[in-house]
Chain A
Amino acid sequence: MTRCGAAILIVLLLAAGLAPLILPPPDALDLAARFAAPSPEHLLGTDELGRDLAARLLHGGRISLTVAVATAVLAALIGTAIGMVAGYHGGVADALLMRLTDGVMALPLLPLLIVLAAADPVKLGVPAAAMDSEGFAIGRLVVIIACVGWTTVARLVRASTLSVRARDYVRAAVAMGASPGRIMLCHILPNIASPVVVATTLSVGNIILIESALSFLGLGIRPPLASWGNMLTGAMDVVWSTPALAVWPGAAIFLTVTAFNLLGDGLQRALNPRGDWAETAH
């Protein structure tokens, strides 16, 4: 099953990478050929503006995957930093950071993300000209989702740090006068890396779902940039005349999220055969 997940992802990445070479550009309008049926020219047909559906699907996939992987990594970095400081220092720092983590976990995810995503970057000092670029659209979403997505990793890392902190090699490093920063980076981090890698992989699928929901609501990746979520918004408007348009983007989301979950489960089984990290289970 793990290989299955990995295979799906490799095929997807290859297709997304090769798409610009074989398929028509994702933004090319052809109003004469709106809602075209699948043909050798347009493998999956065209959408409401005559754009090639297959090209948009793969282009959207590239964006969705970039957002999801970048967010998962950023959230893991934040969570690792917070969890390690809390677990290593204990005391007041631990109490404060863990209350913060509990507080963020207790918040309703989607309403909070809607408020975060609705904020106007111009009011934060971002030049208006930079806002239309693809990089900015992706970066904005990555930051927003990572802001609320770090809690699972933080708790996991704190628990792992607590158990590693008491080991002899850490105490030996302390006795030799290593600084807390050095102990955390050189002695603790390498020993808690596996659960973090598993939790990060498992979180990618979830982030794809969140990103697509936000884009579906018009708050994530905005048209004309394609993403699976906003392709479904477009499809919903024409669901009565062309219901087939709604099938592909959702199927792509489902397939990709399943692939990441299979991969994460497989990694967990490989890296943690005893199954003793309770908190990584989703």
Chain B
Amino acid sequence: MGMISAGAARLLQSLAVLLVMSFVVYGLMGLMPGDPIDLMIAGDPHLTAADAVRLKLLYGLDRPWTERWLRWLLQVLHGELGYSRLYARPVLAAMLPAMLNTATLMAASLVVTLAVALPLGIAASLRPGSLLDGAVNLLAFASVSLPVFWLGLMLIVVFAVTLAWLPAGGMAEATAGGAGVLAHLVLPVGALALAGIGQYARHMRAAMMAEAGHDYIRTAKAKGCSPWRVVLGHQLRNALIPITTIVALEVGGLFSGALITETVFAWPGMGRLIYDSVMGNDFNLALSGLLLATAVTLLGSILADLAYWRLDPRVRRRS
């Protein structure tokens, strides 16, 4: 019961953050250079000054922006996200492929990152002070100081320009099939994974070390479990709880990383869509894109709490 009310409170709080964010972003969009009507006039020489006034009235642009924001909000609540000027189609239709592409990039890099980082972290925790442990520490320290877009550029320089093994950017056409898509994924995923492996390995090591001193480990050893079984069956299972939380909390960070990585590799995802729509004065698209990014981040932190509650019976009993 406590969990449900706590969850509801979190959900309400997140909705409030979303609402405030939409208000602020709506206000900020009005501060962008240019004006939608001016852009329409620039795009169509037949429009006269009278048309401009008519259009202004039609779109309600003569009203204060707070009122326009309310109207926009009502529309969104009716499931109407509006029309993207830049892509010349409904916002949802423009966003869906981009969402899919970003989700692919994020999921692939998360899988690769964890597949490398978790074993590294476990190995480092088993031999503290060893060469491997030092290397993990160094990698973690280096990766917080490394701009991910430069890492991407260096990967392009080495693997696309110098060695010509992989494409430098873009996304394979649907006709290219699985191998083509995969080839285009390697470098962006590589950049994101390289930037994340050090951190996750260090977190994994810390989580394993925190469990190492507990009584249940000693009990397991005392009753004759093999060392592997103690580490993987007992210690790891508990150490994964904080890692799950960190993964969920890092969704927002991963999204920001994906945004700039998409720019370097010309990957047609949400990051590029948000960037292009903000730069191109595409109000509807930019608003929806930014709110989606915020929602994903908020969802990540709710998931983190939920996972913690689900995985750790002690937390469940306390609440």
Contact = CB atoms under 8 A, between A and B. Distances in A.
Given A106-B298, A107-B294, A258 B145 contact: yes
Given A111-B293, A239-B156, A246-B157, A253 B147 contact: yes
Interface magnitude class on chain A: 35 or more
A254 interface: yes
Contact of B149 (A116, A213, A247): A213
B25 A118 contact: no
A243 interface: yes
Q: Tell which of A108, A247, A254 has the most Cβ of chain B within 10 Å.
A: A108
Interface residues of B, number: 51
Interface string B268-285: 000100110011000000
B150 interface: yes
Given A111-B274, A115-B29, A239 B153 contact: yes
A246 B28 CA distance: 34
Contact of B260 (A110, A116, A120, A123): A110
Nearest to A1: B141
Contact of B32 (A118, A216, A249, A258): A118
Q: Is the interface of A mostly helix, strand, loop or mixed?
A: helix
B260 A217 contact: yes
B290 interface: yes
A205 interface: yes
Nearest to A250: B150
B275 A107 contact: no
A243 B162 contact: yes
B20 interface: yes
A166 to B, nearest CB: 26
Given A216-B149, A232-B153, A110 B256 contact: yes
Contacts of A246: 150, 153-154, 157
A114 B252 contact: no
Contacts of A257: 144-147
Interface string A236-261: 10011001001101100110011001
A11 interface: no
23 contacts: A103-B16, A103-B17, A106-B297, A108-B256, A108-B293, A109-B253, A110-B259, A111-B255, A111-B289, A119-B31, A120-B32, A213-B149, A216-B147, A217-B260, A217-B263, A232-B153, A243-B157, A247-B157, A250-B154, A254-B146, A257-B144, A258-B142, A261-B141
4 A-B pairs with the lowest CB-CB distances in the bound complex, closest first: A250-B150, A110-B256, A119-B31, A257-B145
Interface of B: 13-14, 16-17, 20-21, 25, 28-33, 141-142, 144-147, 149-151, 153-154, 156-157, 161-162, 168, 252-253, 255-256, 259-260, 263-264, 271, 274-275, 278-279, 286, 289-290, 293-294, 296-298, 301
Given A108-B255, A216-B263, A258-B141, 10 more contacts: A102-B13, A106-B301, A109-B256, A111-B293, A119-B28, A240-B161, A249-B150, A253-B150, A254-B150, A257-B147
